Amino acid sequence: MDIGSTIRAIRKRKNITIAQICETTGLSQGFMSQVETNKTSPSISTLESIAQALKVPLAYLLLKKEERMRIVRKDERTITTSGSENLKVEHLSSTKNVRMMIIEFPPGSTTGNTPHAHEGEEVHMVIKGRIYAEQGEDKAEFGEGDSFSWNACTPHLVKNIGEDKAIVLISIYKENENENENG
């Protein structure tokens, strides 16, 4: 773990000196220097004191870099295509188990000629247009602002039934995010 670098970065961002941390925590400057350079590993109670001095939750100091907030700016989104109709997919952001994307459906386009299934759970929200969705015996039409969800292991299909392009926000949860599949 790289807790020391995290502590140093927070301390510098908040313009707090090592001396001020030591004054608040009762720790020596030499010890704090060793913590910040990852030469020593502080106990949980010491970390809690440091977190309080920095005014951050203890849990934040324990997060791995990949577990912290990830930012994807609009102009930095990865754009791919999906399915036989090459639907435009804008990848918004993700965690280890959850992905969010916006899918653009041209008029009459669909996720496939036949329903398909895959691992995970999906939540959809229609941002623009009219969508038809089916999963097994369940079938429904949706307009702007409507949402629906399902377990993706049951075959499903989504189609644009409007005369204009449809835009759907999709969030997919998978236990293990190791394959890049679109819903």
- Dump pLDDT digits (tens) for 101-159: 999 999 999 998 888 888 999 999 999 999 999 998 999 999 999 999 999 999 999 99
> What are the tens digits of pLDDT across the range 4-42?
999 999 999 999 999 999 999 999 999 999 999 999 999
Handedness of CA 93, 97, 98, 103 (dihedral sign): positive
Return the C-alpha torsion angle 173, 175, 176, 179, nearest 10.
-40
pTM attached to this predicted model: 0.71
Residue with tokens 């989504």: 158
